[in-house]
Amino acid sequence: MIGYVLRRILRASTTLLGTTLIIFVLVRVVPADPAVSIAGPKADPETLAAIRKDLGLDDPLAVQYGRYLWGLAHADLGRSYMTGRRVADVIAERVPATALLAGTSLALGFFVGLVVGIGTAARRGSAIDLAVLLGTLVGLSIPTFWLGHLLVYAFGYRLHLLPLGGFGTLRHLILPAATLGTLHFFFYARFVHTTVGGTLASDYIRTARAKGSSPLRLYFVHALRNALIPIVTLLGLDIAALMSGVVLTETVFNWPGLGRLAVQAVFNLDIPLVAGTVLFSAVLVLAANLTVDLLYGVIDPRVQRG
């Protein structure tokens, strides 16, 4: 097990190093001058040159990349061009709002979708099974921003039951969490139905049924455990994606999360903040992949031997 863990950590570390290089190159090839973003388009050439020198933008790229890695090693993502604050502090302020929205919506969508998916898989071919599959197909075609605007119009504007947007109370959380949770429900209900349905056709399930296993144990223990690997994979990636910020949903509901922060950084040409948010998202994805890899070894010991 130790060797398995070390191999996965080494692979994740190598991927992270390559990711930093890609981010560094991408933000340097953006056709925008950070000095102009800071001083304004009417600044004189001498002022712009002084800003570039102060930021180290005149140094060779290899020197800049080395300085970038040195800062990352000390948890320093640089300072925002617009506010002068540490990028790490700005990101840390937005994480709680994103984590609250991501955790609530994913919990609702995943657990309800899991129960519905297993329930319909146990009744394959029935009228309720076909109705749920058709409903999930239609639901997966709904754009996130359209559903968000629809909920805002119905429950905020017309019925005046919930706030139109913002952040601060439980009532502000309901609509954005319902938007994301509904779409995750459609996805997981269909995916779990397909995955568990294939497992229920296995020989060991027929054997367990013949031995008199209760339906609850048959579906939620025998069938679900052997279908967990693809489900855990998607769940881990969804957690990373949601924690990186949901741009459309956060924009529709004026939610102060990482998604809106990234959009604001792009519009302001705040390169350190753009690089910081992208790197933070990449780290989340790598951490999710590493966690999923380690869970593979727990769920199915054969993965470690492989």
Q: Give the global pTM.
A: 0.79
Q: What's residue 175's pLDDT?
A: 92
| pLDDT tens digits for range 101-116 | 988 998 999 989 888 8
Q: What's residue 306's pLDDT?
A: 52
Q: For tokens 């309800």, what's the residue? A: 112
Q: Where are the domains positioned within the chain?
A: 2-73, 93-305
Confidence of residue 177 (pLDDT cuts 50, 70, 90): very high
Q: Flag whether pLDDT at 303 surpasses 60.
A: no
Q: For tokens 């013949």, what's the residue? A: 210
Whole-number mean pLDDT of the chain? 81
Token representation of residue 16: 């992270």
Which is it for the CA torsion 296, 238, 177, 257, positive or negative? positive
Q: Flag whether pLDDT at 244 surpasses 70.
A: no
Give me the percent of the chain exceeding a pLDDT of 70: 89
DSSP-assigned beta bridge partners for residue 86 = 79
Q: Flag whether pLDDT at 301 surpasses 70.
A: no
CATH of the domain spanning 93-305, picked from 1.10.3720.10, 3.30.300.30, 2.30.42.10, 1.10.10.1100: 1.10.3720.10
Whether the Cβ atoms of residue 270 and residue 80 lie closer than 8 Å to each other: yes
